[in-house]
Chains A and B, each alone.
Chain A
């Protein structure tokens, strides 16, 4: 039988031991990683570049060459039903109903007027258009907040990246993204997403989808550059973002947007 005095003594000792080991851990932590300065509240990045994307939905003709180029450039399995970027078709009928689809992400273009397999007679169409979608590289990315291991992050230039070596494939980020841009990579078995072709934009080129688009419907710019023509369109024209009410602060802007787009 343990006496009350002994029990209290041991409890105190154990408590001190746990506290001490925690302190040691903190010290090792601070020594082993970057400075504690980083623990302060997030601030606006002072990086020289901040990438932004501009989509003009009027110019998009639904050819799907952007999706094709993206899948080939970024080694997304071509026939798997996953893609970093895709093109949606919206057909708004005169009675107000909306038919939308995106077969295989629009990879092979839209050859027929058959949204969801339904032929819509031309005289019933009020408006119809294509909307390219990609990762919004949110300033407040919900996908990053939920990552339990620090495998996804917002880099100083505003692009949200996934560390393939660090990702454990739990899929929380895929569930957290309000835009559905994340998916599970069938080959690497990690979370996968558009990263504005990080390897291209930092080597003097434009993202593969931007180069592939013959019509200039997709453009990339640097919002920190006062003379950047794309950033100037975003600054001076009427642009919209997707699901603004989520507070994610997207960095992909849309010209000629429509409220039926989801």
Chain B
């Protein structure tokens, strides 16, 4: 049947058929409906593995302790034992290859994250020994008097007990 009206229809039909024929080649085989059902589980399954293979950079103190045993044991005897090395020194990633050196923060701001006293009685902040940064030795680095690896020679009990509620006891599980 020859008609200028019908010819575009054949073109459209050819395009639709082409899309359906090309689909299996373009869309990966693992794209489809998975365990979570049609509403929430329509995706490419291989992406779960992609995310599992993302690089771990925050290695926790377990990674540090073998090469830095003195610092490690000193910190672990102090109230600062609850803080992982990388919270101050930056992420270890592939240290010592990459990065070869980690940072040593000396700024007051770093210590003041916890030790700037705030009048907030309904938080744990109230039970941390804090100072008013505008009054206490302004302009002097905290580390020139206080050692962050051994902040007090005879430490009082830390503000939050270890363990309890699966807290920090199992650090770096």
A residues whose Cβ falls under 8 Å from a Cβ of B: 2, 10, 14, 17-18, 21, 24-25, 28-29, 31-34, 38-43, 45-47, 56-65, 68-69, 72-73, 91, 108-113, 122, 125, 127-130, 140-141, 144-145, 150-156, 161, 163-166, 195, 198-200, 202-206, 208, 211-212, 214-217, 219, 221, 229-230, 233
Contacts and interface: CB of A to CB of B under 8 A. Distances in A.
A111 B58 contact: no
A32 B23 contact: yes
B104 interface: no
Nearest to B14: A21
A73 B33 contact: no
Contact of B37 (A31, A42, A57): A42
9 contacts: A43-B37, A58-B122, A72-B90, A73-B56, A145-B40, A150-B43, A163-B43, A214-B87, A215-B160
A116 B11 CA distance: 62
Nearest to A130: B123
Contacts of B16: 18, 21, 25
B32 A34 contact: yes
Given A69-B86, A72-B90, A219-B165, A108 B109 contact: yes
Contacts of A202: 52
Contacts of B164: 216
B38 A39 contact: yes
Given A156-B34, A195-B51, A72 B40 contact: no
Contact of B122 (A21, A109, A127, A221): A127
Contacts of A150: 31, 42-44
B36 interface: yes
B1 A166 contact: no
A199 B173 contact: no
A163 B123 contact: no
A83 to B, nearest CB: 15
